[in-house]
Structure 1
């Protein structure tokens, strides 16, 4: 998985398909300073790209992606990313 800032309030993440059978992905995004949950999403099986908006400028976020199947989920693949500084 790879995440990068798109602006002072948005990030983008992408990943490759896992080598096993799965039904969907679960995604949790937390602000690292407070560990506050910002997003909790379930994505379709064919998703490999995620854009997140309405984030705070120059903050570090932790993005955790898990595959889910038959009520079970995998260990998370995690990436940390910092939004850009707001220059306005």
Structure 2
């Protein structure tokens, strides 16, 4: 289980198990809500992985390691890094 998933699971556990006077939930309703949310979260995570794996495989088979794909809601862009340089120092004023 990756670190992000563990953190999310711990946060969910704290949220659903916290006692609130403003909105008391019965134990069974609380457990069902937690289970439903965890299932939803897992589905979203799995769906994302399934969506990006073909793109990653395409890059691996057809391009060199400096090629990237940027995807947004209506556009996909294939980029190739010709030259790069990382400045690992603080830039002076």
Instruction: Give the TM-score category using the shorter length.
Output: under 0.3
User: Structure 2-normalised TM-score?
Assistant: 0.24
Which has the higher Rg, Structure 1 or Structure 2? 2
RCO higher in 1 or 2 (8 Å CA, sep ≥ 6)?
1
User: Structure 1-normalised TM-score?
Assistant: 0.25
Of Structure 1 and Structure 2, the greater strand share is in 1
Of Structure 1 and Structure 2, the greater helix share is in 2
